Amino acid sequence: MNTRTFRALLALAGLLPLSHSALAAEAFDNCTGFIDSIPTNISSQGTWCLRKDLSTAMTSGDAIAVNTANVTIDCNGYKIGGLAAGDGTQAVGINVLDKPNAVVRNCNIRGFLIGAKVGEGAPLVEDNRFEGNTSIGIQVSGAGGVVRRNLVLSTGGSTQTGDVLGIETSLDTDVIDNTIDTVAPRAGSNGSGFGIRANGATGASITGNRIRNVLSDGSGESHGIAGEDISRLIVTDNQVIGVGDGIAISCDDTASTAKDNTIAAFATGLSGCDDDGGNVLGN
């Protein structure tokens, strides 16, 4: 039996893995249309997919702008790259322009001022990789929002802003099971670094995240997780590792609760939060 015949029999028996093209075809089954170049504007509802890596040297504007409700951007693991614009970029990778029910998933977004900026009701940002964005990895503003299972790496360096944030949310957005590694303001900026910052909400949750290497510059401060202008924030089961200074977890009031977090290498472990037990503070 020759090799070709043997492989054909295995394929018929379902014992060979699908080819890349077959897997891609399956991934594209639910696509309304495709994004094959950037910058682009999405003005029709549905699931819009990438089927190849895309890059741009644009220094302002949005690589992908979403101008209507009920849109999913599914990158299928492909890249949206803006590194060519440099540290002075003011461009945004994906910008959902205050439209509800937006989803951003399976994207690899690099080199923008803000990787993804998603607003309005019930946004979902999941299963993405954000790397080398210069000011904010993920920014979500929308009641009922969820940010989960994202990898946010090497955020910082912007010449346009001082503070640098891995993930920033406002309103009642839950931040679940993300990894944030290295948040670093530019030297000379006096900027603060935030792994996760939650703003202006009542009842949000930050749960099961891993945060490390959050830095500050000059008079700035480093914060692993910070709740600002927010009440009844629940911070649970996070691992927060610092570099010897700053605050691991801070809250605006004791109506916000910290429970079962593991903290290491911060000058201050908990600030302003109600310590509900199980928090482990190491060196």
Tens digits of residue pLDDT in 119-145: 988 999 999 999 999 999 999 998 999
User: Can you tell me the distance from the alpha carbon of 24 to that of 22, in angstroms, rounded to the nearest whole number?
Assistant: 5
Query: 207 forms bridges with which residues in the sheet?
Result: 176, 236
Residue 118 included in any domain: yes
For 30-44, what is each residue's pLDDT tens digit? 999 999 999 999 999
Count Cβ atoms below 10 Å from residue 263 Cβ, excluding itself: 24
Residue 230 lies in a domain: yes
Other beta carbons within 10 angstroms of residue 217's beta carbon come to 21
Structural domains counted in the chain: 1
27 falls within a domain: no
**Where residue 13 falls among pLDDT bands split at 50, 70, 90?**
very low
Nearest-angstrom CA–CA distance, 234 and 183: 23
* Domain-embedded: residue 265: yes
Q: Is residue 74 part of a domain?
A: yes
CA 239 to chain centre: 17
Structural domain includes residue 11: no
Is 241 within the bounds of a domain?
yes
**Mean per-residue pLDDT for 260-270?**
97
CATH code where residue 105 lies: 2.160.20
φ, ψ at 4 (rounded to 5°): -65, -45
- Domain of residue 162 covers 47-282
pLDDT tens-digit readout, 181-223: 999 999 999 999 999 999 988 889 999 999 999 999 999 999 9
Reduce the DSSP state of residue 23 to 3 states and report it.
helix
Residues 42-79: pLDDT tens digits? 999 999 999 999 999 999 999 999 999 999 999 999 99
pLDDT at 6 over 50: no
Distances (CA, A) of 160 to 50, 60, 91, 219: 29, 12, 11, 17
Q: Is residue 24 a part of any domain in this protein?
A: no
Q: Which residue reads 């018929």 in tokens?
A: 12
Q: Is 89 helix (H, G, I), strand (E, B) or coil?
A: coil
The string of pLDDT tens digits covering residues 144-193 is 999 999 999 999 999 999 999 999 999 899 999 999 999 999 999 999 99
The C-alpha angle with vertex 138 and arms to 135 and 140, in degrees rounded to 5, equals 120
